[in-house]
Structure 1
Amino acid sequence: MAKETMSVKLFVNKVLTGHAVGIVAGLIPSALLGEISKALMVRLPVFGVIFQIVTTLMLAVPLLIGAAVAHQFRFKPVPMVCVAAVAWIGSGALKFTPTGVIVTGMGDLVNILVTVSLACGFILLIGDRLGSFEPLVMPVIVAVVGGGLGVILLPYVHALTLGIGHVVNSFAALQPIPMGILIAASFSIIIISPVSTVAIATAIGMSGIASGTGNLGCVAAAVGMFVGGLHVNKIGLSLSALIGTPKIMIATLVRKPIISVPILLNAALLGTLGALFKIQGTPVSAGFGFSGMVGPINAIRFMTGGPTLSNLLVIAIIFIAVPFIGGFFFEWLCRKVLHLYKAEDYKAEEYRVQE
């Protein structure tokens, strides 16, 4: 493994960057093809196979995160696969039952982050001390120590996720517009963090207007990171934040939290419109935004008369037109008028290891 001075800042940056890469790699195929395949698989069986493939890739997110984080540290093959395995162990995605093992989803993304951090730190401490015994000893040590700590910490970290969910759920007791603003604003930040908006929504059973405005908050985050990143990032990376997940910008947001201001303003606007137009969703759809068109499709289902021309127009305005208009306006306002940050502050990390 490469020799370099490892500061706390550099360590955290590498973990966050790898964490984001793994999430994006696992979720973008499902975001692009999941809903389309689900709709067409009844008529064309090949789409059923495609749906299974993208769903399998989504379930492999813990493994992808572990491998991506290890790659950031330039680990050799054995430590790299150890980190990937530990990420899966600490995710909590595997449930052991008397009849077998059940994969329940991606697991807890925050605990994956904690687990791979511990595993990478442990591997860095070991260094090259194992010598030729590394392939024999390291998998056992890292799996037992790193994976064991991940399993121990999982209930506590998961409780943190549920706690955030209960705070968000408390907003539902407010009047529709304040509720919409607060939920949309909350989800616009949560979706860029290691916490899963989908996990929160399903854990607290978020539905109705609360789910719809949560989706709009995710839209605000995706559009905000896309618009801001256009100035300094390659178009492919910006599109990944838009149609995939804005979690790809986790490290950027941690480095410059002030860039969340235009996102919050746009989320407040969208949350207000979501409450006024009664945009709704389900616990499963909340937290997706327009990734894979999950948010808009579910919103149309709850509108009077179904997918009529007027309803489609409302969805297009609220999920596409207003987010982009608001995104460009608030980003211009905060950067050019208020001078809260510079365009370079949206610069994302290079998602590859520099040789």
Structure 2
Amino acid sequence: MNDENRKERMNVKTFTNHVLNGLAVGIVAGLVPSALLSEICRALAPRLPIFGVMLQIVTIIMFAVPLLIGTAIALRFKFNPIQIVSVAAAAYIGSGALSFTAKGVLVNGMGDLINTLLTAAAAAGVVLIIGDRLKAFAPLLLPTIVCVVAGGIGLWLLPFVRKITLAVGQLVDSYFALAPILMGILVAVSFSVIIVSPISTVAIATAISMSGIASGAGNLGVVAAAVGMFIGGVRVNPIGLSLSALLGTPKIMIAAIVRKPIILVPVVLNAAVLGILAVIFQIKGTPISAGFGFSGLVGPVNAIRFMPGGATAVNMLIILFVFIILPFLFGWFFEWLCRTKLHLYTREDYIENP
């Protein structure tokens, strides 16, 4: 497809879908390896050094998320190689993943995913505007133009976007002062929605040092979103995509959610119930487990670690019910209720890429 045809067919909806779908792919590719292997590798590393190396590898992949997001978004636009690497580089610049200090360069994890999204979108826009005007000079000039313009916009926006991310975290943190049951509901519901947005639940939980029952409730909110997106989408999406939403991250369904936000209703209802269970069964965790749900067994492993007696038969049974059996039972019930009885949406509304 040449640039002229691409411009003719490009509109706000198509542009937004490309950006959101690319965001989801980049996040899944970067976070799933760490989610699946990090806890296992961390537990086995003291005994078998090879698992320490594997832990470093999946951590590096996670830190590369801004580059992966930029690449995935550029591929959605069917850009050529020089355009793809230009968008990827600009996205990494705007992510804020690197900080320059007097002692050298510091890596700040994945940076800010919201700002990565905005920067990558700006970079894609710059590429579309330039089109093929540079002709043979594109390899020389395009990376510089895209990185300086879009990357510069991203760096300018970064402090403001970080304040917004922190404000979201503080809003969740303010729930902690409320009654425990209400707090569990609010935190679980908040995280069930945040996990399917461009905002990083891990970043928020880490920023406000979320731990204890608050972390457990947030963790179960992520579980509710993963289960809800799997149950709703498994009959209309490829099984691999549905399993990625369940075992990896439900962010992969972000495009479908933007098109039809009401499909989040059963997720929110399920999260509210699981938030209550987090308080009743004293499900606790760390900032990391609050963001990963049961991906890679991060949530269950941390929950067991904080339970009195550790991995006893009773505690294992509680974890099985709270993390797997009950989320699926309530998830199926609420999805069936909202779709077939309340007629809030149709099954086809879960299609990720219509």
TM-score (ref. length: structure 2): 0.97
Inter-partner Cα distance in structure 2 for 1:48 and 1:279: 28
Query: Shift in Å at residue 99 of structure 1?
Result: 2.6
From 227, 231, 235, the counterpart of 1:227:
231
The answer for the alignment partner of 1:14 in structure 2 is: 18
In terms of mean alpha carbon deviation, does 249-258 or 292-301 score higher?
Answer: 292-301
Q: Give yes or no for the alignment of 1:177 onto 2:163.
A: no
Q: What SS is found at the alignment partner of 2:106?
A: strand
1:282 corresponds to which residue?
Answer: 286
Question: Equivalent of 1:119, from 117, 120, 123?
Answer: 123
In structure 2, what is the equivalent of residue 132 of structure 1? 136
Matches of 1:285 and 1:159, distance apart in 2: 23
Q: Distance in 1 between matches of 2:89 and 2:274?
A: 40
Aligned to 1:26: 30
1:292 aligns with 2:293: no
Query: 2:79 is matched with which residue?
Result: 75
Q: 1:280-333 CA distances to partner (integer Å, 9 max, x unpaired)?
A: 112232211111111111111111111111111111110111001111111111
Report the more deviating stretch, 202-211 or 95-104: 95-104
Shift of 1:31: 1.4
Amino acid at match of 2:261: P
For residue 267 of structure 2, the aligned residue among 245, 263, 270 is 263
Residues 194-273 of structure 1: pairs in structure 2 closer than 5 A = 194-273=198-277
Residue number in structure 2 paired with 1:146? 150
In structure 1, what residue type is equivalent to 2:318? V
1:331 aligns with one of 332, 335, 338: 335
Q: Alpha-carbon deviations, 1:151-178, whole Å to 9, x = none? A: 1100101111111111111111111111
Confirm or deny that 1:187 pairs with 2:191.
yes
Deviations 1:130-156 (A, max 9, x none): 111111111111111111110110010
Secondary structure of residue in 2 paired with 1:206? coil
Give me the TM-score of the superposition, normalised by structure 1: 0.97
Q: Which runs of 5+ in 1 are unaligned?
A: 351-355
SS of residue paired to 2:290: coil
Which residue in 1 is equivalent to 2:305? Answer: 301
1:98 to 93, 98, 102: 102
| SS at 2:54 equivalent | helix
Kindly provide the amino acid, as one letter, of the partner of residue 274 in structure 2.
L
Corresponding position of 2:321: 317
Distance in 2, matches of 1:93 and 1:30, equals 18
What CA distance in whole angstroms lies between the structure 2 residues aligned with 1:280 and 1:30? 21
Matched residue SS, 1:13: helix
Deviation at 1:100, TM superposition (A): 2.1
* Inter-partner Cα distance in structure 1 for 2:125 and 2:20: 14
Cα separation, 2, equivalents of 1:198 and 1:254: 21
Given the alignment of the two structures, is residue 107 of structure 1 paired with residue 91 of structure 2, yes or no? no
Q: CA RMSD in A?
A: 1.0
**Other structure's SS at 2:105 match:** strand
Q: State the AA in 2 paired with 1:158.
A: R
Q: Could you say which residue in structure 2 is the equivalent of 1:55? A: 59
Unpaired segments ≥5 residues, structure 2: none
Report the AA paired with residue 42 of structure 2. K
- 1:10-33 deviations in Å (ceiling 9; x for gaps): 100000000100000111111111
Q: Identity rate of aligned residues, in percent?
A: 65
Give the aligned partner of residue 353 of structure 1.
none
SS at match of 1:339: coil
1:101 aligned counterpart, secondary structure: strand
Shift of 1:101: 1.4
Q: How many residues align?
A: 350
